[in-house]
């Protein structure tokens, strides 16, 4: 069976679903769609978007701050189980993770934290630190522990906005961003350790080191038309599922958000 999965940080589902760009959803042939940064509770979303015909839908909104964070999953395949957030309450409340168990794999849709604003000293000078970096790295470590436990029963698929560019090839100006959250050494070291545990970057597995392939562009300075971007959105699979990868892609022609969708196709089970 060929299963297609797509992921998109929509930067506000109410805003993007009101744009012509939202036709992307009705036109997708994917069986599973993961959205990040929905910035809405389900009751705030129009019913055709909240519960699209032909889909099952699950929403995990942020409960600690309105209009912030949040993820959603839509599936044409009935999951065996659905879980919200990480098990540890320390990492709950921001609506950052949905876990669906399917017959072939554990699927995680995550909106992983960013490092937050740069910290300043009493005179307003940068200190080199970031207000949310500790939370970000703690969340990642907790997620990996949980994914590894789930992996003991079946393979793992992880999609979403990781808020990290893994390698210099994954952003347009790596030298200028070595002290910018999203490309800090501690963040890249984490991604290296994650891959070393046996998690495969599906886009790189299919396309190799093809350059200038990004998934996020700042709204400033016409970054997207000039393709001055970052690759922050991924599909990873645990290595035991790597032989099932048929294709992986970036839908850079889809607008409506500062991110674009990404996808993967997996051959699983019997046809």
Determine the pLDDT at residue 218.
97
Determine the pLDDT at residue 269.
84
Determine the pLDDT at residue 121.
66
Q: Which long-range contacts (CB under 8 A, 24 or more apart) does 204-208 make?
A: 205/242, 205/245, 205/248, 206/245, 206/247, 206/248, 207/248
Model confidence at 122, in pLDDT bands (50, 70, 90)? low
Catalytic residues: 161
Determine the pLDDT at residue 271.
64
Model confidence at 123, in pLDDT bands (50, 70, 90)? low
Q: List pLDDT tens digits, range 18-43.
A: 999 999 999 999 999 999 999 999 99
pLDDT at 191 over 80: yes
What residue has token string 């709950």?
A: 92
Residue boundaries of the structural domains of the chain? 2-267
- For residue 192, give the 3-state DSSP assignment: helix
pTM: 0.96
Query: Which fold, 2-267?
Result: Deoxyribonuclease I; Chain A (3.60.10)
130: alpha, beta or left, given left = phi > 0 and alpha = psi -120 to 50? beta
Give me the chain's average pLDDT, please.
96
């Amino acid at each position: 069976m060929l299963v297609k999965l797509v992921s998109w940080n929509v930067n506000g589902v109410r805003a993007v679903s009101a744009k012509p760009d939202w036709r992307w959803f009705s036109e997708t042939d994917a069986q599973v769609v993961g959205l990040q940064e929905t910035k809405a509770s389900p009751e705030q979303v129009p019913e055709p978007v909240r519960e699209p015909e032909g889909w099952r839908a699950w929403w995990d909104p942020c409960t600690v701050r309105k209009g912030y964070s949040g993820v959603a999953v839509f599936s044409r395949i009935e999951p065996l189980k659905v879980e919200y957030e990480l098990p540890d309450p320390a990492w709950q409340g921001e609506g950052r993770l949905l876990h669906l168990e399917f017959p072939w794999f554990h699927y995680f849709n995550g909106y992983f934290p960013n490092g937050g604003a740069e910290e300043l000293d009493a005179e307003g000078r940068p200190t080199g630190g970031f207000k949310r970096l500790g939370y970000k790295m703690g969340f990642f470590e907790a997620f990996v522990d949980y994914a590894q436990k789930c992996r003991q029963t079946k393979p793992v698929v992880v999609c979403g906005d990781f808020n990290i560019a893994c390698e210099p090839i994954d952003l347009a100006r790596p030298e200028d961003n070595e002290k910018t959250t999203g490309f800090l050494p501690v963040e890249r070291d984490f991604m290296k350790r994650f891959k070393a545990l046996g998690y495969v970057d599906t886009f790189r597995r299919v396309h190799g080191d093809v350059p200038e392939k990004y998934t996020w562009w700042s709204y400033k300075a016409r970054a997207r038309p000039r393709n001055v971007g970052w690759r922050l959105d991924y599909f990873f699979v645990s290595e035991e599922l790597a032989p099932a990868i048929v294709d992986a892609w970036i839908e850079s022609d889809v607008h409506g958000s500062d991110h674009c969708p990404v996808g993967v196709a997996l051959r699983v089970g019997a046809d």
